[in-house]
Amino acid sequence: MIKTRITEMFGVETPLIMGGMTGVGYAPLVAAVANAGALGFITAHHSPTAEALWEEIKRCKDLTDKPFGINLTLLPSLNPIPYDEYRHAIIESGIKIVETAGRNPTDHLPAFKEAGVKVIHKCTSVRHAVTAAKHGVDVISIDGFECAGHPGEDDVGLVVLLPATVDAVDIPVIASGGMADGRSLAAALALGAEGVNMGTRFMATQECAIHENVKKKIVENTERDTLLTNRTLRNTSRVARNAVSEEVVRIQQDPTKTIEDVRHLVAGVRGRTNVMGKGDTDDGIWTVGQSQGLIHDIPTVAEMVRNIMGQAEQVLERSARRLQAA
């Protein structure tokens, strides 16, 4: 058994975390993650209202009696997002773990602190991690440049970013970006992390409710099969390499182009409907990390967690034997 400050803080069996993911973080998968001894997060903005989020929480509680959390990604939106109502539903439902991303959660922290809710904040730079820690978050999840979705604009890989963050803050740090197997966990622990966050790896599991074609594509792809879109807009996103993302990158090579020139291509509803729903992996933008190069199967969540923990323990034991031999 591998015990860390994360397993102790959240009462979970393993230091493996499935953070919130759009189109992925629904109750059945989160419950499977919890039942396997890891920590999963329901994605709040899947729910149009606080009442709907409450029902999703209840659905998850009906499937597991183990800890799980809620992801709140705090972003500006043309259509107002009911963040205050979400927060109230989280607190009233008894959830004690929240993962925030986007802007700093300063306006939500007092209520969460008063209710005994622990907050993990996702960052992509040391400076943002330091600021979040000063504001009172409990844990930093640091995203290296390898990650799916938004890796920030600094282009720093996790092997540098992780220990730099650990050195800069006193609270526990979770490694995110490029994590997909037991070697990843062992390496992250060696660099000072208390746990690892995996997104792409959890997508390629039997319980994940995305189209089977997407899971098979993740297995088929290599670490080279991602692209970075929206670089010129300073809103970089790592997505799967396909016909649509290649077209977006081609258009955005012209620095005069704006989001309006690619809006029809990058629309989230297109990716969710055509890719995640219908399984046409070439007809929409979908996020995936470079860690897909380490993914070679589509196991159950329980099998995946068991395999990762077994491999990590073997790697750590082998390293300890090397030290003894020296």
The domain locations on the chain are 5-210+298-325, 222-287
Mean pLDDT over residues 54-78, rounded? 94
- The three-state secondary structure class of 287 is strand
Q: pLDDT tens for residues 187-226?
A: 999 999 999 999 999 999 999 999 999 999 999 999 999 9
Fold for 5-210+298-325, please state it. TIM Barrel (3.20.20)
Q: What is the DSSP letter of 52?
A: H
First to last CA, the chain: 25
pLDDT at 78 over 70: no
Dihedral sign from CA coordinates of 22, 26, 29, 31: positive
Q: pLDDT tens for residues 93-130?
A: 999 999 999 999 999 999 999 999 999 999 999 999 99
Dihedral sign from CA coordinates of 19, 20, 23, 28: positive
Q: What is the pLDDT of residue 48?
A: 93
Q: What is the pLDDT of residue 291?
A: 97
Please state whether the predicted TM-score (pTM) of the whole model is above 0.85: yes
Spatial separation of the C-alpha atoms in residues 69 and 41, rounded to whole Å = 5
DSSP state string for 152-217: -SS---HHHHHHHHHHH-SS-EEEESS--SHHHHHHHHHTT-SEEE-SHHHHTSTT--S-HHHHHH
Cα Dmax for the chain? 61
Q: What is the pLDDT of residue 324?
A: 76
Spatial separation of the C-alpha atoms in residues 32 and 120, rounded to whole Å = 21
- The three-state secondary structure class of 120 is strand
